[in-house]
Structure 1
Amino acid sequence: MSLIIFVVISALIFFSAYIFMGAWITKWMGLKDDNTTPAFTRRDGLDFEPIGWKALLPQHFSAISAAGPIVGPILAGTLFGWGPTWLWIIFGSIFIGGIHDFTTLVASVRHSARSVAEIVKQYINQRAYKLFLIFIWLTLIYVIIAFADVTAGAFVQTASTEDATAPGPAVATSSILYLLLAAFMGLSMRSGLKSGPAKAIFLPLVLVAILAGPFMSLDLEKIFPGHGQKLWNYLLLAYCFIASITPVWLLLQPRGELGGYFLYFIMILGFAGILIGGLSGGIAINAPAFSNAPLFFGTEGVRPIFPILFITVACGACSGFHSVVSSGTTSKQLSRESDARPVAYGGMLLEGLFACLSLAAVMILVEPKGKPDVIYANGISNFLNFAFLKTVPTQTLYQFALLCFATFIFDTLDACTRLARYILMELTGWTGRRGIIWATVITLVLPVLVVSLPSATLNGKEMPLWRVFWNLFGSSNQLLAALALLAVAVWLRHIGKHYALPLFGFFFMCVMTLWSLILTGFDYYKKVSSGSVAALYSVEAGVAAILMVLAVWLAAEAFVIWKKPIEKIEPLMDTEL
């Protein structure tokens, strides 16, 4: 197969799924634009603020995507080959991830933009609600830990290929300028500047920020030798705090729009570059479709495809984090019910297509190995080089690709902290400004403690913090997806709609993730048996055990309810909140 055929088949499959599957699920859920959405009924200018789907889609897309559909597919492609990774991206996005995102958004909108956890409380019980909130909160914390460390590493380490070099400090400077531009864009739009002119002004300024980065490098490793990455971790967590307590119009919405259009830009030009490079013979598939990874039973140092593939590629196929975004920030901004199709289902399919682009960066390598950000930047800069007909310096394109990688993570970090704050406030009943601040502080305590722990090693090599927690992040994320699908299935059963699709997704994801958590336990046992164990591995094993207990408990609570006769339950209205 050529890379052109890979791209064309992927795009056609996703486009067909949006047209036909998208139309079917819209009819299935009975979306009606006559129903006023919570963005209007609860409008407050802080969290509830209606915007059209063309503005909401890039924000939602950038929040759910970030580095997930980059890191996951690249890791899976290097471990298992691009063949099984591609199949999971296609199947997962259309039949599990897309259904998950769409139904959780609709369920939230139909329940006054309340979270999936609130739906669990209404249709299962109070105990399951509390357990679900704790589960979501823990999952979000590990998303913050994993992505903050990935970004911190990109800010201190110099990435390079044969043709280009991108110093991490330059990427850090460009990223800070990007955030400042987003804030100025938010202020400008709040003062009356329309969305179109705002994008016309600020998108080119982001390109200026990229070019300015190398001339204003912020090298913390040079200032504080040996502590640069830790300091960046702390600064990124401080940014998360600020982003969580500011109004959505100041940073979340404008940064989301800028990030979303960057994703569009990368995807369109990336695929164009693949087509041009493929036709000219400059780009071809070099990596093997399958690795030597076993199907079911791993060996020393080699993980099996089942279940590890399905927790390695989360964003890009199916991700529980999306349900938190859909029922957290997106449902509070949806203007019409019918917008759920392009925003939620379309957003998931776009993310699947983006994951295919990331996978293409692995496919062009003769030996698919290396850090995900370097593999990604190498691939994207190659694709863009052909898209621009080799008229732009490779160095600039490489720098641009790494900045995009960092900005995508910012999109998830601030949205994730805000969502974790929502969850903790919901769990504790805290309200007002003091509640917002305390919920954010407590949410960030565990990430601060974890990034402060000494580094771990594996086979004598130092393991980056994000790599230690990636499987745990993937497992908790996919378990969250399974439980969200279970909650949706219970709700659909109560209102008399078909629930086979979400129930299938629940069983599939539940089996894969519990299986992977059991393997994590066995791996930890082997490390303990072989001698000393780093504190990070103990934290990983402990959290894995907690997640398993919570997941099994929640599933048991739902099973008890499922056995009972269906009772008519009316969704709470805004006046009852």
Structure 2
Amino acid sequence: MITFFAALVILIVGYMIYGKIVEKIFAPNDHATPAVANPDGVDYVPISTGKAFLIQLLNIAGLGPIFGAISGAMWGPSVYLWIVCGTLLAGAVHDFMSGMLSERNDGASISEVTGKYLGPVMHNVMRVFSVVLLVMVGVVFMVGPAGLLARLTPEWLDIRVWTVIILIYYFLATLLPIDKIIGRVYPLFGILLILMAIGIAIGTIIHSGERPMMELTLKNLFPGTVDSVTGKVTGVRPIWPLMFITVACGAISGFHATQSPIVSRCIKSEREGRKIFYGAMVAEGIIALIWAAAAVAFFWNKDGAGTGLSALKAIGGGNSNSVYDMCVALLGKFGGPIALLGVIVCPITSGDTAFRGARMTIFDWFKLDEKKIRVRLSVAVPLLLIGYGISFINYNVVWRYFSWSNQTLAMIVLWAASVYLATNYGPNPNRCWLTVVPATFMSAVSITYLLYAPECFNLGAHGTTGLTVSYVGGVVVACVFLAIFLLTTYRNPAKSLERQQNVDISRKAAH
């Protein structure tokens, strides 16, 4: 329990201290935001800071800090370190930079932002990549809650029926102006999400006598399979890179970069950025920490023999079954349904904005007019139909591809942010380290997973040799990316400083 509370305190203090450092490096100014300068009544609509924070939290939260954190618990308490460090040093920085860069580019979608700083080839790659990822996210956040609702309702309301019902809601939320549904109900749902996490935390603490919360250990506790003849343990999955990919949204998520433009088109001042973008990610990190700690305590100690994580592995890690079992056991007859309602609302309110984000990306891509409902329909309907078709694919397969593409997108966004800092503030390492360090780290994570995982190059099938090759390959490619950045960005310091002077002049003129 000491580890849990220490991690919680670090997240809160980290927001107050490191969040201010991030804000100071970015240097917000008082120029008119897109919502103030160009309101359109559909996507560009000024909203209050409190509403913007809750909308951003629900946009990015989804099932990630719940399903991902529970799945990450299969490796044991070492997941706490990644949630805390990943949130403060990578995830929140990523969310802040993606939101603020979108705001400074007239609320542009993340594919347009990265294209501006990484070049035309990456521009087109990111357009396709973003739309594919957003559709997969919409599917993940459609099937997950549909499964939970099917468990709570009569048999005729099965997962297919609930999927269609949720899809109809997605259609409305994707199509209508942001202040008609999202701006009105999201603040209430945001409060529900926070209360649900608090309830799980209290329930875990109350039951700590029978299910004690484990203290930190770096030992890999992923449950393997013991051969009855030889006694050899097989099937233990390595912490690096699998846990870092599995936790996903609970530490860092490229999906967030696709959601931040939705809110960047609504904020009234750049100075709200730290509270909204950095703050929402820290709040999500706290939610992930709570669910990870609860899952470790609930499953590890369940049978009293230290093999409880095998039960979590057997039911597939974080999913509707594990969440249902935890909520009912920890919060009882009345608390369980309330917590489950939060878990259901949470992904649905990210799935709708995922499809909305995909629609916005396509609109930015082809320069379409979002004010015309006929045009919005022509994009929204095909996207939702494609999403429904993908929902028939095995959920765990979709989640694995989502997790890897999610972290890869985060890597790309962090490199784009690094180029922005170097280009607009000159070759100053004191500024660029903010994003270069997590960008390099996430490059190693993504490439290592790409080499190791069965859905990619599957080097993990070759045992220790394959794992070693994956490790070396990930580190080498990350170092190559870093070298390319240093060589291309720092080649002409005078040009970078000249660009910054021009930017400053333009901002003063606009202000």
TM-score by length of 2: 0.81
* Structure 2 match to 1:191: none
Picking from 60, 72, 75, the partner of 1:64 is: 60
Report the AA paired with residue 89 of structure 1.
I
For structure 1, the residue ranges without an aligned partner over 5 or more in a row are 159-166, 170-216, 222-227, 386-393, 454-464, 529-550
Contact 1:49 1:332 in 2 (8 A): yes
How do 1:435-450 residues align onto structure 2 when only pairs under 5 Å count? 435-450=375-390
Matched, 1:236 2:236: no
Picking from 414, 429, 437, the partner of 2:352 is: 414
* Structure 1 match to 2:443: 510
| Per-residue deviation, residues 181-215 of structure 1 (Å, max 9, x unmatched) | xxxxxxxxxxxxxxxxxxxxxxxxxxxxxxxxxxx
Cα deviation for residue 561 of structure 1 reads: 5.3
Contact 2:19 2:274 in 1 (8 A): yes
Cα deviation for residue 61 of structure 1 reads: 0.7
**SS of equivalent to 1:333:** coil
In 2, Cα distance between the equivalents of 1:471 and 1:427?
27
Cα deviation for residue 67 of structure 1 reads: 1.3
Report the AA paired with residue 38 of structure 1.
P
Cα deviation for residue 86 of structure 1 reads: 0.7
* Structure 1 match to 2:156: 220
Cα deviation for residue 252 of structure 1 reads: 1.1
Query: Given the superposition, is the C-alpha separation of residues 242 and 555 from structure 1 closer, same or farther in structure 2, using an over 3 Å criterion?
Result: farther
| Per-residue deviation, residues 327-346 of structure 1 (Å, max 9, x unmatched) | x2110111121211111111
* Structure 1 match to 2:296: 363
Query: Given the superposition, is the C-alpha separation of residues 500 and 43 from structure 1 closer, same or farther in structure 2, using an over 3 Å criterion?
Result: same
* Structure 2 match to 1:55: 51
* Structure 2 match to 1:467: 396
Matched, 1:339 2:272: yes
* Structure 1 match to 2:104: 110
Contact 1:131 1:554 in 2 (8 A): no
**SS of equivalent to 1:499:** helix
Report the AA paired with residue 333 of structure 2.
Q
Cα deviation for residue 77 of structure 1 reads: 0.6
Cα deviation for residue 288 of structure 1 reads: 9.5
Cα deviation for residue 475 of structure 1 reads: 0.5
Contact 1:252 1:414 in 2 (8 A): no
In 2, Cα distance between the equivalents of 1:85 and 1:527?
21
Contact 1:425 1:435 in 2 (8 A): no
* Structure 1 match to 2:72: 76
**Identical aligned residues as a percent:** 25
* Structure 1 match to 2:114: 120
Cα deviation for residue 11 of structure 1 reads: 2.1
In 2, Cα distance between the equivalents of 1:564 and 1:127?
21
For structure 2, the residue ranges without an aligned partner over 5 or more in a row are 225-232, 303-307, 462-477
Matched, 1:304 2:232: no
Cα deviation for residue 351 of structure 1 reads: 0.7
* Structure 1 match to 2:230: none
| Per-residue deviation, residues 212-237 of structure 1 (Å, max 9, x unmatched) | xxxxx5x435xxxxxx3234333333
* RMSD over equivalenced CA pairs, Å: 3.3
Contact 1:243 1:414 in 2 (8 A): yes
How do 1:333-412 residues align onto structure 2 when only pairs under 5 Å count? 333-365=266-298, 366=302, 367-368=308-309, 369=312, 370=315, 372=318, 373-380=320-327, 385=331, 394-412=332-350
**SS of equivalent to 1:364:** helix
Query: Given the superposition, is the C-alpha separation of residues 555 and 287 from structure 1 closer, same or farther in structure 2, using an over 3 Å criterion?
Result: closer
Report the AA paired with residue 39 of structure 1.
A
Query: Given the superposition, is the C-alpha separation of residues 377 and 7 from structure 1 closer, same or farther in structure 2, using an over 3 Å criterion?
Result: farther
| Per-residue deviation, residues 93-116 of structure 1 (Å, max 9, x unmatched) | 010001111111121222222223
**SS of equivalent to 1:329:** helix
**SS of equivalent to 1:51:** coil
**SS of equivalent to 1:100:** helix
**SS of equivalent to 1:495:** helix
Q: Which moved more, 1:475-484 or 1:117-126?
A: 117-126
* Structure 2 match to 1:491: 420
* Structure 1 match to 2:466: none
Cα deviation for residue 378 of structure 1 reads: 4.2
| Per-residue deviation, residues 253-289 of structure 1 (Å, max 9, x unmatched) | 12321221012212344444555555xx465226995
In 2, Cα distance between the equivalents of 1:251 and 1:257?
11
In 2, Cα distance between the equivalents of 1:527 and 1:36?
51
Equivalenced residues, count: 458
Query: Given the superposition, is the C-alpha separation of residues 502 and 148 from structure 1 closer, same or farther in structure 2, using an over 3 Å criterion?
Result: same
Picking from 477, 484, 492, the partner of 2:406 is: 477
Contact 1:320 1:484 in 2 (8 A): yes
In 2, Cα distance between the equivalents of 1:300 and 1:269?
37
How do 1:138-177 residues align onto structure 2 when only pairs under 5 Å count? 138-156=132-150, 158=151, 167=152, 169=153
Query: Given the superposition, is the C-alpha separation of residues 101 and 220 from structure 1 closer, same or farther in structure 2, using an over 3 Å criterion?
Result: same
In 1, Cα distance between the equivalents of 2:365 and 2:112?
10
Query: Given the superposition, is the C-alpha separation of residues 220 and 513 from structure 1 closer, same or farther in structure 2, using an over 3 Å criterion?
Result: farther
Cα deviation for residue 247 of structure 1 reads: 1.2
Contact 1:105 1:323 in 2 (8 A): yes
**SS of equivalent to 2:250:** coil
